[in-house]
Amino acid sequence: MITMENIIREGHPTLRKVAEEVTLPASEQDKETLSLMIDYVKNSQDPEVSEKYGLRPGIGLAAPQINVAKRMIAIHVVDEKGVQHSYALFNPKIMSHSVEKSYLTSGEGCLSVDRSVPGIVPRYARIRVKATNLDGEQIDIRLRGLLAVVFQHEIDHLNGIMFYDHINESNPFQEPENAIAIE
Ligand SMILES: OCN(O)CCCc1ccccc1
Ligand code: NI
């Protein structure tokens, strides 16, 4: 299983690399890695398991964070209605996005960043994503709200981008114009 020991931290060069496309159909090894990634994300949100193994809770994980420079992401979010949204994806690609922006009022964090970096992280409010899931099926989804934010955070990792790269240095809490605040 993946634990915090497997998660590399800022300063490690892999976090600043552009990850390689996964050759499809995915190899057994790539499928095993992605399966372990979604397990981590789910385990990290389980109070008992996360406590037992010292897992820092995360709503997503990107392969570069476990030092695998491949385009794989895992996301598990329980929305405000209690609905679970789970994605284990190869080669996710943002096909289009809104002009309108959104941001989490609480800011963002990262399992690879062992410090708090306060500030507003502007994201596209709505995105359309194409990818291939763990079962080898192509998906084409439209996202908004927290899910859209998490997908952008994870896809950024595949391009060597950290959430704080988006924070306005001179005024970290400057609200982007024409943006939706997500509580
Ligand atoms: O890359 C995943 N990760 O570092 C865990 C935290 C993910 C995350 C946290 C806040 C807003 C969006 C995404
Ligand atoms: Ni992160």
Which ipTM score applies to this complex?
Answer: 0.98
Helices (H) and strands (E) in the chain, counts: 3, 8
Q: Whose CA is nearest to atom 1 of ligand 1?
A: 61
Catalytic center residues: 154
pTM, 2 dp:
0.98
Q: Which of 163, 164, 166, 182 to mutate to test the pocket of ligand 1 (most atoms within 8 A of CB)?
A: 163
Pocket of ligand 1 (CB under 6 A): 58-62, 65, 104, 108-112, 149-150, 153-154, 157
> Which position has the token pair 């406590």?
51
Distance CA 146, CA 123 (A): 10
Omega within 30 of 0 (cis) for the link into 25: yes
- Ligand 1 atom nearest to CA at 157: 1
Single-letter amino acid, residue 77: V
Separation of CA 110 and ligand 1 centre (Å): 5
> Could you say which ligand is closest to the alpha carbon of residue 149?
1
- In sequence order, which residues have a C-beta less than 8 Å from that of residue 55 and are 6 or more positions away? 3, 4, 40, 43, 44, 49
Give pLDDT, residue 80.
76
Give pLDDT, residue 60.
98
Q: What φ, ψ does residue 7 adopt, rounded to 5°?
A: -95, 120
Digit-coded pLDDT (tens) for 123-155: 999 999 999 999 999 999 999 999 999 999 999
> 72 has which bridge partners?
90
**Stretch 10-37: mean pLDDT, rounded?**
98
**Average pLDDT along the chain:** 97
Give pLDDT, residue 28.
98
Please choose, from the candidates 130, 147, 31, the residue with its C-alpha nearest in 3D space to the C-alpha of residue 86: 147
Antiparallel, parallel or unpaired: β 179-182 and 101-104: parallel
Digit-coded pLDDT (tens) for 78-125: 987 899 999 999 999 999 999 999 999 999 999 999 999 999 999 999
Please choose, from the candidates 30, 179, 176, the residue with its C-alpha nearest in 3D space to the C-alpha of residue 98: 179
